[in-house]
Amino acid sequence: MIIGLSNTAFEYKGTIQDIIWLFYPGAELVAEDKGDFLLQLNLSQEVEFNLWAEAQLYVNGASLAQREEGHPLIPAEVPNELKRLARMAVYKILVSYSGTTPSPWGIMTGIRPTKVVHRLLDLGWSKQNVENYLLDKYALRPDKTQLITSVTEIQRPLLLSKKQAKKLVGVYIGIPFCPSRCLYCSFPSYSIKRHRDMVDPFLKALLQEIQVIGETLRSQGLLVQSIYLGGGTPTSLNCEQLQSLLEAIQLSLKDDSTIEMTVEGGRPDTLNEDVFALLANAGVNRLSINPQSMNQKTLDIIGRAHTVEDIYRSVETARNYKFPTLNMDLIIGLPGETVQDVARTMESILQLKPENLTVHALALKRASNLKQRLAEFPLLQAEEAVAMWQETARGATALGQHPYYMYRQKQMVGNLENIGYALPGHECIYNIQMIEERQTIIGLGVGAGSKWMDPDTWTLVNEYNAKDPRQYVERLDEYIERKLHHIRELSTKQ
């Protein structure tokens, strides 16, 4: 489909494109009066911050119009409020024209919908007023409104104050190797068998980055609250390599303020008694064993080199080492799976009783093999995805868990969300701080992103290390120097 945009509408193309694509996925937007229909958009600011946006839709000689009025919560937010009004006007006119409401999230197409709620709570709003605002100003469905307000209610006591955020940071360490690449994966991930020659140079560079950054943090009086080893699959390293990494973390990054250390064991085929012993001795207190599905046919399709029995074995062994928190990840919408398959997966998860459960809705990414094989593995219809989501939500409730963090991605099946559940007291601190962006997160290793937070304004700068191990090694000095600058800058805020 081709949709013509008026000059003003085209100026706001970046603002309204996601809304249009909710109704017409992938529609081509052109700055001229051509296409299946024409969309006009006018916006204005009047006296005392009274704002309005009006959308007009012209189709086959007929027209529809929708006007939205509002005002910013604070004067500095005039541009953002104009964008919200534009999105709402376009959304409502397309609902009227199409007769459908394609997303339970209304005009909230961003990654972090909970940030809106935290901002309103910071202004002293009550939970009820926040819910009413979301229903009215963002067109959220009531169940999604209740979901994000309940999530933020759990998060509030765990967020840092501005004073704490000037002192405490989180650290993410990216290990770019896996036993094999999963069909849906879009992360920086390299088969450790095919790229074994990369591992030692990468690890040498990573240990240097850990040492220099750790020493600088301490010299500047900054403390590490949480450490997260992700990837890839960190436990795909051999025991000698893994031990050297864990020792470097212990020596350079951990301190008395480090209350959480997560390792993505991820793939059960990388876990054995020796690996569990190393992790336990290093003080890992949150371990992820991520099956994604407990159906063998699905594991085979997505390229997993382990069995369902391996998952049970790994969890049993992990329990023997008494890791305080066990997390398990699932994905709904995997190729070939049905609602019944997801129900069977949840029956298995209920037997394993993890303290954390993270449920992802499959997102179609350009860098994934799945994107190239859609003819082979067509995506689910929205109704099936929602039914799967409901199965996982029921399972989490049966485990006594509550939703404690969430985020959304582009092209998710069913326009759903990724959601983390936890038993009380087992919420992942790193996940909350990273998603809500109320803390500096320092990314070390391949593909690792850093979020440099200004605690006075809650504004941030995002920076990334290279996704290729060779480029990471070659540019290491640049990455280190950049981080040292930001660390020194953060220390001046204390």
What was the pLDDT predicted at 151?
97
Span 468-472, average pLDDT: 95
Higher pLDDT, 123 or 182: 123
Residue 309 has pLDDT above 80, yes or no: yes
Angle between helices 142-155 and 127-137 (to 10 degrees): 140
Tell me how far apart the alpha carbons of residues 67 and 85 are, in angstroms, rounded to a whole number. 9
Residue 373 has pLDDT above 70, yes or no: no
Arithmetic mean of pLDDT over the chain: 91
Span 273-299, average pLDDT: 94
Span 242-253, average pLDDT: 98
Residue 378 has pLDDT above 80, yes or no: no
Range 34-39, long-range pairs (CB < 8 A, 24+ positions): 34/2, 34/4, 35/1, 35/2, 35/3, 35/4, 36/1, 36/2, 36/3, 37/3, 37/4, 38/3, 38/4, 38/5, 38/6, 39/3, 39/4, 39/5, 39/6, 39/9, 39/90
Tokens of 215: 């020493």
What was the pLDDT predicted at 139?
97
What was the pLDDT predicted at 363?
72
Span 78-103, average pLDDT: 94
Residue 477 near residue 213, CB atoms below 8 Å: no
To the nearest whole percent, how much of the chain has pLDDT over 90? Answer: 75
Contacts of 284 (CB under 8 A, 6+ apart): 261, 262, 263, 323
Residue 377 has pLDDT above 80, yes or no: no
What was the pLDDT predicted at 367?
52
Q: What is the pLDDT of residues 425-452, one digit of tens each?
A: 999 999 999 999 999 999 999 999 999 9
- At 219, the pLDDT band (50, 70, 90 cuts) reads very high
- At 32, the pLDDT band (50, 70, 90 cuts) reads confident
- At 192, the pLDDT band (50, 70, 90 cuts) reads confident
The pTM of the full predicted model, rounded to 2 decimals, is 0.92
Span 267-285, average pLDDT: 94
What was the pLDDT predicted at 328?
96
CATH superfamily of 162-489: tm_1862 like domain (3.80.30.20)
Span 170-181, average pLDDT: 88
Class of domain 1-100 (CATH, top level): alpha beta
CA distances to 58, 65, 228, 327, 382 from 39, rounded to whole Å, are 7, 10, 46, 47, 27
What was the pLDDT predicted at 181?
63
Span 475-492, average pLDDT: 96
Span 17-33, average pLDDT: 89
What was the pLDDT predicted at 161?
95
Weakest-pLDDT range from 197-201, 280-284, 362-366, 380-384? 362-366
Q: What is the pLDDT of residues 381-431, one digit of tens each?
A: 778 888 999 999 999 999 999 999 999 987 777 778 999 999 999 999 999
Residue 188 has pLDDT above 80, yes or no: no
Residue 45 has pLDDT above 90, yes or no: no
What was the pLDDT predicted at 421?
98
Residue 314 has pLDDT above 80, yes or no: yes
- At 346, the pLDDT band (50, 70, 90 cuts) reads very high
Span 97-114, average pLDDT: 92
Residue 229 near residue 140, CB atoms below 8 Å: no
Residue type at 412? M
Tell me how far apart the alpha carbons of residues 85 and 68 are, in angstroms, rounded to a whole number. 6
Tell me how far apart the alpha carbons of residues 140 and 235 are, in angstroms, rounded to a whole number. 40
Residue 347 near residue 318, CB atoms below 8 Å: no
Same fold, 1-100 and 162-489: no
What was the pLDDT predicted at 179?
75
Tell me how far apart the alpha carbons of residues 299 and 189 are, in angstroms, rounded to a whole number. 18
Tokens of 296: 């063998």
Residue 305 has pLDDT above 80, yes or no: no
Residue 365 has pLDDT above 60, yes or no: no
Tell me how far apart the alpha carbons of residues 453 and 169 are, in angstroms, rounded to a whole number. 9
Q: Kindly list the domain boundaries of the chain, sorted by start residue.
A: 1-100, 103-155, 162-489
- At 361, the pLDDT band (50, 70, 90 cuts) reads confident
- At 461, the pLDDT band (50, 70, 90 cuts) reads very high
Residue type at 114? T
Residue 374 has pLDDT above 60, yes or no: no
- At 250, the pLDDT band (50, 70, 90 cuts) reads very high
Residue 276 has pLDDT above 70, yes or no: yes
What was the pLDDT predicted at 494?
81
What was the pLDDT predicted at 186?
59
Q: Is the preceding omega at residue 230 within 30 degrees of 0, hence cis?
A: no
What was the pLDDT predicted at 231?
84
DSSP 366-397: TTSHHHHTTTTSPPPPHHHHHHHHHHHHHHHH
What was the pLDDT predicted at 1?
86
What was the pLDDT predicted at 371?
52
Tell me how far apart the alpha carbons of residues 267 and 431 are, in angstroms, rounded to a whole number. 20
